[in-house]
């Protein structure tokens, strides 16, 4: 039997950041994190792009806007304090045709409203500063966008919270709720004063055991990048297209990693189970049936353009098609090095089962002595420190 003031399920960036925030608020409370894997950050947190976003994609009234802007600064400070590598390469957003100029202008309005630094570049200025990028008339440059190594960040964060007195228990999977203040895990029963569900891909399943978030379910999307470790194209900044602001995916783009490798991606391919990384690893028949049913429903109704998205994304498994999408953002670049697929990641995307809409902002619900992070959608990695400080202040 184990007991603790705060029991956190999930050793990803959100779970560890909540532990950090709790201990910084009160060093005397006991905090325990349980993680089903042998190490922390083995799913979304350790498999993301490592981009620290600036916060200009989101409307000023959203939680995402505030947490991305402030989280960018907080994560930069954390990496500087612990001497973790940062590539301050910035990001350009380019227009592929004249109709996308309006999209650039909307992003600039959002940046101004969110007090995020974003600069206009003329076509000539773009050619001088980032000759690999291509645009129509003008582009936007984000100087505060950077890239870091997410695995290094997670490892250092785990060390930091342990130094604060947090216990991290790995190989400890949640199995079921067994009482008002107890859960059964693969390592026995754990008692708690307050439970925090930060289980990412499994957050909805755990929440439902507590009669929370029953109108929601997680739909997983698989993200894969093509990688050029030697950067034959001499990429010097991140290059993004104008996004479709009606859905949460940013489109195929170029990422310059912290070790100066170049990547193209990601995909946003609907996955059929929560750990559908490769082959039938992690296959769960019941989970497959539930997720496939919702995806079939979304495909049939074409809710939020899901059918079109699914058909477009499946084509990205063909490397030549993937590269063709990316080359619309650049000019005359050498793409011969893009031969290696990166380690896939699975994005946990919350779906409202009643409206069949993807939820694009953070969703947190509390019931009795449990708090559930139902939606910590991208850019949760960038937002982590500021978002979890808000969770602790608002819900704990």
Kindly report the backbone phi and psi dihedral angles of residue 295, in degrees, each rounded to the nearest multiple of 5, phi listed first. -65, -35
Residues 192 and 231 in one domain: no
Q: How far is CA 246 from CA 57, 219, 265, 269, 378, in A?
A: 11, 17, 19, 17, 15
Please state, in angstroms and rounded to a whole number, the distance separating the CA atoms of residues 138 and 154: 37
Regarding predicted confidence, which is higher, 306 or 121?
121
Are residues 54 and 138 part of one domain? no
Is 360's pLDDT higher than 90? no
Q: Is residue 195 located within the same domain as residue 271?
A: no
CB-based contacts of 170-179 (< 8 A; 24+ apart in sequence): 170/11, 170/35, 170/37, 170/38, 170/39, 170/40, 171/35, 171/36, 171/37, 171/38, 172/34, 172/35, 172/36, 173/34, 173/36, 174/9, 174/34, 174/36, 174/199, 174/202, 174/206, 176/209, 177/209, 177/210
- Check residue 151 and give its pLDDT: 96
Task: Give the pLDDT confidence of 125-138 residue by residue, as tens digits.
Answer: 999 999 999 999 99
Report whether 65 contacts 55 (CB < 8 A): yes
Secondary structure letter of residue 251 according to DSSP: -
| pLDDT class of 1 with cuts at 50, 70, 90 | low
User: In this structure, are 235 and 299 located in the same domain?
Assistant: yes
* Mean pLDDT across the chain: 94
Q: What is the pLDDT of residue 303?
A: 87
Spatial CA neighbour of 363 closest among 64, 80, 13: 64
- Assign 325 to helix, strand or coil: helix
Instruction: Give the residue, 361 or 382, on which the prediction is more confident.
Output: 382
Q: Do the Cβ atoms of 329 and 241 come closer than 8 Å? A: yes
Pairing mode, strands 119-122 and 253-256: unpaired
- Does 138 lie in the same domain as 161? no
C-alpha dist (Å) from residue 255 to 36, 97, 118, 323, 362: 30, 21, 18, 14, 25
Residue 159 shares a structural domain with residue 25 = yes
Cβ(86)–Cβ(153) below 8 Å:
no
CA distance 271 to 83: 36
Are 72 and 159 in the same domain?
yes
Answer for the pair 147, 91: CB distance below 8 angstroms, yes or no: no
Q: Within this chain, do residues 68 and 159 fall inside the same structural domain, yes or no?
A: yes
Decide if 49 is inside a domain: yes
Q: What is the pLDDT of residue 267?
A: 87
CB neighbours of 299 closer than 8 A, spacing ≥ 6?
A: 306, 307, 310
Higher pLDDT, 138 or 279: 138
Query: Is residue 290, in this structure, part of any structural domain at all?
Result: yes
Whole-number percent of the chain with pLDDT over 90: 80
Q: For 301-329, how does the pLDDT look when each residue is reduced to its tens digit (9 = 90+)? A: 998 888 988 888 888 878 888 888 888 99
Structure-model confidence comparison of residues 51 and 63, the more confident one: 51
For residue 238, tell me if it sits in a domain. yes
Task: Identify whether 84 is part of a domain.
Answer: no
Tell me: cis bond preceding 365? Omega within 30 of 0 counts: no
pTM of the model: 0.94
Indicate whether 317 and 230 sit together in one domain: yes
The answer to whether position 170 is within a domain reads yes
Split at pLDDT 50, 70, 90, the class of 74 is very high
Position 248 scores a pLDDT of 66
Handedness of CA 51, 52, 55, 58 (dihedral sign): positive
DSSP per-residue letters across 163-230? HTT-EEE-S--EEEEEETTEEEETTEEEEEEEEEE--GGGHHHHHHHTT--TTEEEEEEEE--EEETT
Domain that holds residue 286: 216-353
Confidence band (pLDDT; 50, 70, 90) for 339?
A: confident
Among the listed ranges 21-30, 75-84, 101-110, 323-332, which one has the minimum average pLDDT value? 323-332
pLDDT tens-place string over residues 172-181: 999 999 999 9
Six-digit token string for 321: 């098609």
What's the pLDDT score for residue 268? 87
3-state secondary structure of 91: strand
Question: Considering the domain boundaries, does residue 384 fall inside one?
Answer: yes
Q: Dihedrals φ, ψ of 220, to 5°?
A: -85, 140
The bridge status of strand 216-223 relative to strand 31-34 is unpaired
What are the pLDDT digits (tens) for 199-253?
A: 999 999 999 999 999 999 999 999 999 999 999 999 999 999 998 877 667 789 9
- Number of compact structural domains in the chain: 3
CA dist., res. 167 & res. 18, Å (int): 13
285 and 161 assigned to the same domain: no
State the pLDDT at residue 60: 85
Q: What is the CATH number of the domain that holds 389?
A: 3.50.50.60
256 and 336 belong to one structural domain: yes
Query: Is 82 among the domain residues?
Result: no
| Residue 177: inside a domain | yes
231 and 341 housed in the same domain: yes
């Amino acid at each position: 039997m184990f007991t603790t003031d705060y029991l956190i399920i999930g050793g990803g960036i959100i779970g560890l950041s909540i532990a950090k925030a709790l201990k910084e608020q009160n060093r005397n409370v006991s905090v325990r994190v349980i993680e089903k894997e042998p190490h922390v950050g083995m799913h979304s947190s350790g498999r993301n792009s490592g981009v620290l976003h600036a916060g200009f994609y989101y409307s000023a009234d959203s939680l995402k806007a505030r947490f991305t802007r402030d989280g960018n600064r907080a994560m930069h400070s954390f990496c500087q304090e612990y001497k973790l590598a940062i590539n301050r390469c910035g990001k350009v957003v380019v227009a592929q045709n004249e109709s996308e100029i309006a999209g650039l202008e909307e992003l600039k309005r959002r940046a101004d409203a969110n007090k995020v630094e974003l600069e206009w570049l003329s076509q000539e200025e773009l050619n001088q500063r980032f000759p690999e990028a291509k645009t129509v008339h003008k582009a936007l440059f984000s100087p505060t966008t950077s890239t870091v190594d997410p695995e290094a960040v997670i490892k250092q964060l785990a060390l930091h919270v342990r130094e604060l007195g947090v216990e991290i228990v790995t190989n400890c999977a949640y199995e079921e709720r067994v009482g008002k203040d107890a859960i059964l895990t693969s390592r026995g029963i754990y008692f708690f004063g307050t439970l925090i569900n930060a289980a990412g891909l499994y957050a909805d399943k755990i929440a439902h055991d507590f009669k929370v978030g029953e109108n929601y379910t997680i739909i997983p999307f698989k993200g894969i990048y093509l990688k050029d470790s030697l950067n034959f194209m001499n990429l010097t900044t991140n290059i993004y297209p104008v996004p479709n602001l009606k859905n949460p995916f940013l489109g195929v783009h170029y990422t310059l990693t912290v070790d100066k490798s170049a990547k193209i991606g990601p995909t946003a391919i609907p996955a059929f189970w929560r750990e559908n990384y490769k082959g039938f690893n992690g296959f769960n028949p019941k989970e497959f049936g539930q997720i496939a049913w919702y995806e079939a429903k979304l495909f049939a109704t074409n809710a939020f353009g899901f059918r079109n998205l699914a058909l477009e994304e499946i084509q990205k498994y063909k490397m030549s098609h993937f590269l063709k999408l990316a080359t619309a953002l650049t000019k005359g670049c050498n793409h011969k090095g893009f031969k290696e697929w990166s380690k896939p990641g699975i994005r946990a995307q919350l779906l409202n089962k009643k409206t069949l809409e993807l939820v694009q902002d953070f969703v947190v619900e509390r019931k009795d002595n449990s708090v559930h992070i139902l939606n910590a959608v991208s850019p949760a990695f960038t937002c982590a420190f500021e978002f979890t400080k808000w969770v602790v202040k608002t819900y704990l």
